[in-house]
Every structure is written in structure tokens, then in C-alpha cells.
Structure 1
Amino acid sequence: MTNQLLPAVSFQGVTRRYGSVAAVNDVSLDISPGEFFALLGSSGSGKTTLLMLLAGFDKPTEGSVLMSGTSVSDVPPHRRQIGVVFQNYALFPHLTAAENVAYPLKMRGVGRAESETRVKTALGLVNLTDRGSSYPSQLSGGQQQRVALARALVFGPDLLLMDEPLGALDRRLRDQMQQELKRIQGELGITVIYVTHDQSEAMAMADRIGIMAEGRLLQVADPETIYAKPANHFVARFLGDCSILRVTEKDGGRGYEICGVRQPLSSQAAGRFDVVVRPENVTVHPATEAASGDIPGVPATVRDVTYLGAAWRVTLELPDRQLLLASVVRGDRMAGHLVPGESVVARWSPEFVAVLPAEKSI
């Protein structure tokens, strides 16, 4: 077997404890060569600890970390051929952009001529060829981020680790840098592991996403699958807006009942279950249309309407007091006409419903 067939990174039963607290708890994960993989989770979920174990800044209490099939447990950070970019870019203020980018080459003893060539190439990759003589204080936040990225790439690493690298940028710059990162990753074919708490960021860039909570890896899948078919209630709630509804199983799991209205399922479910519905898949209709259409309508009352520019976020209250979120976009006949207290009917297609084992009542 050649290295091309081996995972670029493999976590095998990795646990990291600090006293009685398991910051990372029995994580097993393979990441393919050339993959853009996002670790997504809230603060304290263990995602950054996992990254530090791979970078060599910490060691696992249990388990192994491998790169291309070889354990790196005893390999110091500077010998792991890994580029790292943090949210705090950690640029040297007394060095120019070019000198900052050249620093890893200097530490590796690269000759001056070769270093200059590599620095020029790296700055060109991040579109900063004309800012090499500028100091960090003379650069915008987005430009400083690009310098940090160029510095992480200049020595030709096998792997690029990024820990919340866009967190200090405003939304417009974040969107711009997301596109740039994907472009650069595609040009280089480098494996990227990207840590973030921003769901939209992970969805926009990653080939696959791993969601972490309390040190555990809860689900790993491509963005579309993890959004449409969450593994559990935590993942469903964490990745975008959703409504998780308590329902009563009917017809041997081929359907369910909610507020006295029977609804079909696209595939048979087993045992007691809840259903997950995303707001963009909910349509809102006048109360007079309860019986029209192929999909049964569920009666509801408008509780709140929030204008978001491209759409209206509508909170509906069902007769059993459960809340249902809906997104009403421009062009919809109900757009701009819904008001709190209004009686309506909600519909959603069975093909857009995710089924999860019923959540235990507290």
C-alpha cells in the first residue's frame, strides 16, 4: 500500500485528559489527502485541543495520531511539516510582510536566493506581491491574515491547520477570504483541517464536517448530509435553524400524527421518534386552505415575524404549544402580510423531514 492510499491524518481512539476532565474523548477519524475538513463545535467542545494534538503542541493521554500511516507521537512540532494559522495572526511587528513569510525558511536554513523565490511565490498566491515591504501595522486585517497564510504555506507543508482564522474579520472580508482559501487549497491540493464555531463557514468551505461536543465527535459527513440528516438532536440544533417536533408514530412508522393531523414519511421509522424540519422547507398558507393540496396542513398561529432582508423569519405556534419556524421569501404570496396572532396553516414535504429517536423528556 502506498502513502497515496493512506489517510493524510488518522486519529485512533484519541483521548486527552486534564485531571478528571476529558477535553478530547475517544476520537477516531480519518482525513483523506487533499481534503478540506472542518471541525465544528462551540467553545470547549474539544476541537482546538484535537488540532493541538495533531500539531504536536500537546500529547494524547490515550490513542495515536498518525500522518500518512506513521505515528507522530514522538515527532516534535517543527518536524511534522505542518503549517498553522491562528485567529491571532502572530506576525512579528518589526518585520515586513516578506520577512514574516520568510521566517519559517530562515529557521529551516533555506538559502537566501531560494528563500526569496519561495516568498515571492507565496505572496503571489495570496495576492500580496506588492505589499512585501509593508509592516503589519500598515496592513488591513484581511491582508495580515493573508500574510499569516503565506507564512504557513511557504515551506511546502504536507498539512495546513487553521484555528478560527477568520474570526477577527468582518462579514464581507470573511466571505471574501473563504473564497480565497478554497481557491488556494484547490490550486495546491493540500490537506486542510479547519477549526471553527461558525456553521456557515464550515458549510461553505468543507468537503466534510465533523461536529464535536464535550470532547466527542458526534457526526462526520459532507455538508449536505449533515444538514439534511443529523445524527442526533444536538447536531440538528447546532447546524442551522430547525424545529424538532414531538409526534405520535402511526401506520407502523410509515407516518406520524401532529396536532391531530396525519403526515406521511418518505421512509419507514422504527420506535418512538421526533421529526426535524428546517424553516426553508415550511410553507405558510391562509387558514382557509387547511384541506387543499397533497400535503395535509397543520393549523398554527403566527407568534412572531422578523424581517431579514431576503426573507421573513416566522415563528408559528401549533395547537399543542410546540413552536415551528418558517422562512417566507420574497415572491411568496404571504411575504410581508403575516402578522402576530394570525391563524394560518403550515405544510412541509415528507422528503425534507429528518427522523430522530425521540428525545427523553426532562
Structure 2
Amino acid sequence: MRDQPPLPAVSFQSVTRRYGPVIAVSGVTLDIAKGEFFALLGSSGSGKTTLLMLLAGFDQPTEGRVMMSGTSVSELPPHRRSIGVVFQNYALFPHMTAAQNVAYPLKMRGVGRSEREERVKAALSLVNLTERGASYPSQMSGGQQQRVALARSLVFGPELLLMDEPLGALDRRLRDQMQQELKRIQRELGITVIYVTHDQSEAMAMANRIGIMAGGKLLQVADPETIYTAPSSHFVARFIGECSILRVASLDNGRAFEIAGARQSLPSPAIAPFDIVVRPEKVSVHSVNDARSGEAFSVPATIREVTYLGPGWRVELQLSDGQLLLANIMRGDLLAGELEPGKSVIARWASASVTTLPTEGSS
């Protein structure tokens, strides 16, 4: 007899949530594996937080079921779901010390005093706050308060940790530090984490898989590299990082395309009509006198705008057919000192760097 595959930690089964005429979540079906760090990524109003609240038990689906480890929890109250939750506003009790805040969930569950003290000590150690147990929230930095909130959500040993924009109130340096801390803690505990954010770089840096949401729908679920290099739609391509989406003419039954008078073959045929997606780091910019201009795929362009970014420059190019193309020029590039609006250049990219998507409205 074959071994049965492990049950997912979380399973949304055709989940819909309506508020009157407004559909906040629309027919979401999604499995999340045990021990996975999963990010729900989307802009405000996309439905990601509503989905999280349905899982936490603070709301109920209009249709469909929410499962945990193969058991429906749609009717269970939040305190019976074995879920820790961390919000952007840390919701710490100001009159309690850090240790008392962390101990609160244990006290509510009737855990004895000696066991509470041991578990609080371990939780504070996990988030590197062993020495701050006697401090009140007003005596702690935002990053330290966030660590206390995290320790409080983990101290009772939940099966699942939900995090809703938990780092949104921190500055960039602290956010970067906390991202690394969260990944470390998740690895140490092996706990399943579902992380809601609107910050694409945060999701890319932390998650094993990402689910992109918009208009209450789940548009694509994949690992970060796949979502970046093979987006499923124009929306996903634009939402994850910068890109250029360009109109092209299909040639040779989708085996090649033409753009601004230049022809390029594709690694695999595409169904016409299609657009191409090119990431700016894949675009190289050359002088019009470059010797290879007649030997390689080359698109004439004019520099339209140059933005200094520190490690390099973001360059907006206009192709001869009027379309705009983004390129990243790094220090040390041959043209690094010759970037100025109005300059005529040649743009190139490898055919393997191109992603094709059906032209919007063509299906």
C-alpha cells in the first residue's frame, strides 16, 4: 500500500467571502504545506487580509471551507484553532512588562505558574530579548516590541503562525533585520507561517512560495523565482519588480517576433498574439558604434530619462516605434559616464530573457 501524502497544514477550498454586494474573496482554492513559509502578496483591498482573518477565525466564509490538517475549522472560534497571530500594531498591554505580555496567552489557557515562567523564558530567548523581560513596552524600541509580540504568539506552541503586515511600522534597516530573524525562527521551530504583505521585496526575500492576490482572486502561486521570471499575467509581471511589457509582431508561427524593425527568435513557440516581458537587469545598452550592432539582436533607442540609484542608474529608453524600455546600468558599464537624455543608443537582450504573455484582451 502506498504511503498517503501528508495533509496540508492549511487548505482553502473554494472560499468566498461577501459583504453585501462586495466580494472580498472570490473562490480561493489553496493548499499550504506543513513547515512552509507562505506569503500572501497584494495591494490594499486585494483580499489577502480577509483570507487571513477567515483562517484565524475572526470571520467566516460565505461559501467554501477552511481546513487545518484535514479538519474543517470554519465553525471553530479563534481560541480553538491553535493559531498565533501577529499584527502590524503590536497590541501589547502597556501596563504589563514584556514577560507578562508573553505570559498572557498561557495564563488564559490555565498553564501553571512555574511552567509559564519556563516557557516565557524560552520564548524571550528565541527572539533575543532575555534581558528585557522586565521592561514595559514604552521602554522598548519598535523592533523590540515586535519581538515581544512575536514571542507572545509563539509561546503556547501554535500549529500555525499568521502575520499581517508585521514589519510595516519599522524603518528599512530594522525591517531587514527582522526579516532575517523571522526566517531564522521559522527554520528553528519548523512552524508553518502565512505572511501577509504588500511589499514585494519582503515576500521575495522570505517566502518559500508566494500567492499573488488582486480583486479577491488568487492570480498565481509559485516560488519567488518562478513568479519573477514566468509571471502568469500582465498584472503579476507589473506587480513583481520593474519590467517592460512590449507589443511585438509574431513571426514564423510564434517562433520569433519583430519589434521596432528588429527580429528575435524565441526559445519555444508562443501563441499569437503575444506581448513580451523584459526585466531591466536583462537589458544591455550600447553605443550606436558598437561593432556588434550588425551581428546581434539590436533595437535602436533614445535615452529618455536617467535616474541615479546608488549602485547604478535606471535608464528609460524610447524605441523607434515609441514604446518605452527600462534598463539598469551598473557602475563600470562602458556607457556609465555617457548617460544623458536624447542620446541615441542600441538596446539588446538575450532571447532566453524574454517571457511571452497573451496580449491583454486577446483571450
User: Structures share a fold, TM > 0.5?
Assistant: yes
Give the match for residue 72 of structure 1.
73
Please name the residue that 1:349 is paired with.
Answer: 350
Q: Which residue of 2 aligns with 1:165?
A: 166
1:182 corresponds in structure 2 to 183
- 3-12 or 218-227, which deviates more: 3-12
Q: Note the C-alpha offset of 1:294.
A: 5.5
- Written as runs of structure 1 = structure 2, the 5 A alignment for 1:187-206 is 187-206=188-207
State the SS of the aligned residue for 1:345.
strand
Question: What are the within-5 Å matches in structure 2 for residues 44-83 of structure 1?
Answer: 44-83=45-84
Match of residue 303 from structure 1: 304
Q: Following superposition of structure 1 onto structure 2, how do residues 28-39 of structure 1 map, counting pairs within 5 Å? A: 28-39=29-40
Matched ranges for 1:283-298 at <5 A:
283-289=284-290, 291-292=292-293, 295-298=296-299
What is aligned with 2:253? 252
Please report how far the alpha carbon of residue 289 of structure 1 lies from its aligned counterpart in structure 2 after TM superposition.
2.5
| Residue aligned with 2:218, SS | strand
Letter of the aligned partner of 2:84 in structure 1?
G
Corresponding residue number in structure 2 for 1:263: 264
Q: Is the 8 A contact 2:293 2:346 kept in 1?
A: no
2: CA distance between counterparts of 1:82 and 1:125? 18
Q: Distance in 1 between matches of 2:199 and 2:318?
A: 28
The 2-side partners of 1:311 and 1:225 are apart by 26
Deviations 1:62-111 (CA, angstroms, capped at 9, x unpaired): 00000000000111100100000000000000000000000000000000
Distance of 1:124 and 1:79 partners within structure 2: 26
Deviations 1:325-361 (A, max 9, x none): 0000112111132100000000011111110001239
1:274 aligns with 2:275: yes
Q: In the alignment, residue 235 of structure 2 is paired with which amino acid?
A: F
* 1:276 alignment partner AA: V
CA apart distance, 1:290: 7.5
CA–CA separation in structure 1 for the residues paired with 2:203 and 2:110: 36
Where does structure 2 lack aligned partners over 5 or more consecutive residues?
none
Amino acid at match of 1:316: L
The answer to whether residue 11 in structure 2 is matched with residue 10 in structure 1 is yes
Name the structure 1 match of 2:321: 320
Q: 1:3 to 1:74 in 2, by over 3 A?
A: farther
What amino acid is the match of 1:149?
A: L
Task: Tell whether 2:203 aligns with 1:221.
Answer: no
- 2:3 and 2:127 mapped to 1: Cα distance? 32
Give, as a single letter, the amino acid of the residue that structure 2 aligns with 1:51.
L
Q: Unaligned regions of 5+ residues in structure 1, if any?
A: none
Cα-to-partner distance string for 1:111-150 (whole Å, 9 max, x where unaligned): 0000000000000000000000000000000000000000
Q: Write the distance in 2 (CA, Å) between the matches of 1:296 and 1:117.
A: 66
Q: What is the CA–CA distance in structure 2 between the aligned matches of 1:158 and 1:13, rounded to whole Å?
A: 23
Letter in 2 for 1:311: G
Query: Structure 1 322/17 Cα, relative in aligned 2: closer, same or farther at 3 Å?
Result: same
**Equivalent residues, number:** 361
> How far does residue 299 in structure 1 lie from its aligned partner after superposition?
0.2
The equivalent of 1:148 in structure 2 is 149
> How is 1:64-103 mapped onto 2 (pairs within 5 angstroms)?
64-103=65-104
Structure 2 distance, partners of 1:335, 1:14, is 51
Write the distance in 1 (CA, Å) between the matches of 2:171 and 2:12.
33
Q: Distance in 2 between matches of 1:189 and 1:57?
A: 25
Equivalent position amino acid for 1:92 in 2: F
> In the aligned structure 2, how far is the partner of 1:336 from the partner of 1:6?
57
Taking the aligned partners of 1:204 and 1:305, their CA distance within structure 2 comes to 27
Q: 2:357, 2:174 → 1: CA distance?
A: 37
Relative distance call for 1:130 and 1:203 in structure 2 (3 A) is: same
Distance apart, 1:3 and its partner CA: 9.3
For the structure 1 residues 112 and 247, does the alpha-carbon distance in structure 2 shift closer, same or farther, using more than 3 Å as the test? same
Alignment partner, residue 333 of structure 1: 334
SS in 1 for 2:253: helix
* Counterparts of 1:50 and 1:296, CA distance in 2: 46
Percent of aligned pairs with the same amino acid: 75
Deviation at 1:227, TM superposition (A): 0.2
Structure 2 residue matching 1:340: 3-state secondary structure: coil
What secondary structure does 1:292 align onto?
Answer: helix
Q: Is the 8 A contact 2:49 2:196 kept in 1?
A: yes
Deviations, residues 187-242 of structure 1 (Å, cap 9, x unaligned): 00000000000000000000000000000000000000000000000000000000
Q: Do the aligned partners of 1:295 and 1:348 also contact (CA within 8 Å) in 2? A: no
Distance 1:294 1:121, change over 3 A: farther
Q: Which moved more, 1:259-268 or 1:143-152?
A: 259-268
Match of 2:232 in 1: 231
Match of 1:288, SS state, is: coil
Instruction: Show the counterpart of 1:359.
Output: 360
Query: d(CA) in 1 for partners of 2:190 and 2:5?
Result: 13
